[in-house]
Amino acid sequence: MMDQRPAPGSRRALADDTCCQEPAARVPLSLALLLVALMALPASARAQGITFSITEASISFADADPDTTPSLTASSNVTLNYRVTGNGGGNWQITVISGTDLTSGTATIPISNVTWTAAPVPPFQAGTMSTSVPQTVASGSGNANSTTGTMVFRLINSWSYNVGNYNATFTFTMTAP
């Protein structure tokens, strides 16, 4: 019986040797195929994208007589600009939380005294500020193309507030899980 094994130095032997001695050459190939497959997916399916911004950098509440103005309206409305792509049927959400109560030195005004209304409803909703739990501003599912929402913030006015210039920072977060 003839020996089927190729003679050392033949082409087949060379190919097999290449295979077995340099296995790394096949790994990049498979990775490349994966990459090509991923890149070949439609953009909407491949990349879940969120664009989110707030037009205004700051808002303020002016001083007023609590008897005649029991609810203070912020100096300007807040415009939220958002866009969701590649989200399929997934949910998205915009939340807001305050880092602190309104603070002026050692004086504070509870942040829960700040409320908002928003439009359009839905996906936006009214709410009350919190320093501990992110509050939902808007929520929906699927994609959203270049959409805006408007929030109007209000502060309950009270004689119990001590004199001062109070500040707080609100952090808005848009997520598409």
Partner 1 sequence: MPRIRASLVLLAILAAAPLLTGASRTDTLTVSATVSARAKLQLSSLSMSFADADPDTTPSVPASGGPLTIQAKGRTTIGSTVTLVMLATGDLQSGLDVIPADRLSWTATGAGFVGGTVSTAMAQAVGSWANSGSWTGTQSYQFANAWNYSTGTYTTTLTYTLTAP
Residue numbers at the binding site for partner 1 (CB under 8 A) = 22, 24-25, 27-28, 31-32, 34-35, 38-39, 46-54, 56-63, 65-67, 72, 74, 78, 86, 98, 102, 104-107, 109, 114, 153, 155, 159-177
Residue 123 near residue 86, CB atoms below 8 Å = no
Nearer to partner 1, 6 or 38 (CB): 38
SS3 95: strand
Q: Which two tokens stand for residue 98?
A: 């305050």
Q: Which two tokens stand for residue 105?
A: 């030195």
User: What minimum distance in Å lies between the beta carbon of 139 and partner 1?
Assistant: 14
Polymer length in residues for the chain = 177
Nearer to partner 1, 114 or 138 (CB): 114
Residue linked to tokens 């009270």: 158
Nearer to partner 1, 48 or 125 (CB): 48
User: What minimum distance in Å lies between the beta carbon of 10 and partner 1?
Assistant: 25
CA distances from 107 to 1, 67, 125 (A): 100, 21, 30
Nearer to partner 1, 107 or 125 (CB): 107
User: What minimum distance in Å lies between the beta carbon of 165 and partner 1?
Assistant: 6
Nearer to partner 1, 118 or 174 (CB): 174
Classify 88 in phi/psi space as left (phi over 0), alpha (psi -120 to 50) or beta.
Answer: left
User: What minimum distance in Å lies between the beta carbon of 41 and partner 1?
Assistant: 8
User: What minimum distance in Å lies between the beta carbon of 112 and partner 1?
Assistant: 13
CA distances from 13 to 19, 22, 106, 128 (A): 10, 14, 83, 75
